Amino acid sequence: MTSLNFLLLAFTLSNSIISWPAGAFAQTTLTPVNVPIEGPPAGFNAALVPDSSSAGEPVLESFVSFSIETAFFPDFAGNTGAPNNFSRNLLEELREFQGSLPNVRVGGNTQDYALFDSTLQAATRGIYSDASKDYPTTLAIGRSYFESYQTWPGVKFIHGFNLAKNESVAAKILVDPVSDICKALSDGKLLYWEMGNEPDLYKTSAQGVVRPKSWSEADYVTEWSDKVESIKEALKSECGNAWTSEQKFKWIAPSFAGTKNSLDSVKSWNAGLDKAGVIVKFSSHNYIGGATQPGVTLRGTLMNHTKTVASIAAHNAEQKALSSAGMELDYILGETNSLYNQGAPGLSNSFGAAIWGVDFNLMAAATNIKQVFMHQGTDYRYASWQPISTSKTSIGTKPPYYGNIAVAAALGDVTNSSVRVANIPLNQSTEAAYAIYSDNILSRLMIINMNEYNYSVPTPSPRPVPSYNFTVPATCKGSGVVQRLIANGSDAISGISFNGMSWNFELDGGKGKLLGNATRNEIVWVASDGDVSVQVPDSSAALVQLTC
């Protein structure tokens, strides 16, 4: 290599590490300085970026999507008289990066508590119990509930039906709202249907056991098939034959809570789950851990690439086993987030969780998981945004949303090209990197430094800024652009930006706004042999836009 220009920032260089004072990113405009270096620096040790042959299969449009708890969907969407424009703005902003609006699944635990009440004037009536303080365990929904499907133009929805209720009256109530649902999801709003949420927990759930211990995969498949058929008959009679056509009668399943619970996905598939041929996506759920599990921390649980890889690997193994059983559908995560039981305060609502979300989503994409629906709920600690103000939580954009933005930016416009992601193996569990390919051409690198940096301690230490070195194809030589996902530290819950932009509710109702005190679109130089170095502060991520 004859020469290599590294992006250095205007701070004191000590060995190969820059130390910034706490809060420097939030308070100081950083000026990049291009410093030529003859030959590679000592210990350059570049990671070789793999070619596209090691990447996952192309991701689906709307890869960054959301699952919204049934009980709280009206909070997020509003109604025709008072649409939630804050939520709509956040969804539209994601379209600017990934080329399409997120899909929205309406489901979750309360999907299997919800019963239709045609006399109910309000959208919902919920009763809370000791089983959960976060959502109602008895839920009635009225006709006005379905107005919420009409407030986000262009968004396509997955509507979830109640499988858990198994009495004869519940079977009738299951089909009673079908005509209202058809009206709400007309004009191209319907994406798919879903029958039941996490039936692999029906025999064991802490929120209440709803099936006997003897309930088997064959029993589940029989119930699922019978209720899907009852929906089909109701759609035909109430909404017309078009609603039962191959183009519109599409389902996701089985929506299991995970890969190791009381029902086995392969046995369910072999028992004839898709004997009618109406399932179009195999949907599973995943949480990296539990909100109240002993030992759960940012450092060891969320900001830990090894932990994320292991969690996703269980789905990769399941997908492989299903493929051997003849299942050829796209594998998606129809519900996922950081810590089950709605997240832990100080962890799931911190900037560290946003960084985790970037690593998790891109690792999923790199391993043939085609789409990811991040779960949301009012007052949920892991929510990307709080849609309304309550006695517990103020309306606002939360740290995980910035992770959603960074993932969408990393993938780019998925509607314009075939986008694939490859994991770049690094040495430490606190670091991760990904190569993103558009039509098999390297387009971007995402570098994630998950070393924990806490700024809220009384006297924070200087923030380390290590260099990450890569060798990309020589066709990428010249300049690239660095876009940073940054906050004051992993424990920050505000003051977050991506490439100098904020999506805070207070600025313009969730529309992206350029901050006046943040650096954006920094220049990084790629040498003629493809060597490139990017400095990434602890507890941050950097997206490198390349021209290859």
Dist. CA 5–CA 35, nearest whole Å: 6
- State both tokens at 183: 């009206």
210 and 166 Cβ atoms separated by less than 8 Å: yes
Q: What are phi and psi of 17, to 5 degrees?
A: -120, 135
Strands 190-195 and 114-116: unpaired
Cα distances (Å, whole numbers) of residue 377 to 68, 87, 286, 383, 526:
6, 12, 16, 6, 43
532 and 5 Cβ atoms separated by less than 8 Å: no
Question: Could you please report the per-residue DSSP string of 99-111?
Answer: SSPPPEEEESGGG
Collapsing DSSP to helix, strand or coil, 150 comes out as helix
Q: What are phi and psi of 285, to 5 degrees?
A: -120, 160
From the candidates 92, 93, 194, 335, which is the catalytic residue?
335
| DSSP H or E stretch at residue 306 | helix 305-324
Contacts of 159 (CB under 8 A, 6+ apart): 106, 149, 181, 185, 190, 193, 194
Strands 138-141 and 441-449: unpaired
Dist. CA 524–CA 471, nearest whole Å: 13
102 and 417 Cβ atoms separated by less than 8 Å: no
User: Is residue 217 flagged as an active site residue?
Assistant: yes
Cβ neighbourhood burial of 380 (10 Å; 0-12, 13-18, 19+)? buried
Closest CA to 217 of 156, 263, 259: 263
Cα distances (Å, whole numbers) of residue 540 to 8, 135, 374, 447:
17, 33, 21, 9
From the candidates 69, 217, 318, 452, which is the catalytic residue?
217
User: Is residue 147 flagged as an active site residue?
Assistant: no
Please enumerate, as own/partner, the contacts of 163-166 that have beta carbons within 8 Å and a separation of 24 or more: 163/112, 163/195, 163/196, 163/197, 163/199, 163/223, 163/224, 163/227, 164/112, 164/113, 164/196, 164/197, 164/199, 164/202, 164/210, 165/112, 165/115, 165/210, 166/210, 166/211, 166/223
Please enumerate, as own/partner, the contacts of 15-20 that have beta carbons within 8 Å and a separation of 24 or more: 16/41, 16/43, 16/466, 16/467, 17/464, 17/465, 17/466, 18/465, 18/535, 19/462, 19/463, 19/464, 19/465, 20/462, 20/463, 20/465, 20/537
Dist. CA 315–CA 318, nearest whole Å: 5
Collapsing DSSP to helix, strand or coil, 184 comes out as helix
Q: What residues are annotated to the active site?
A: 217, 335
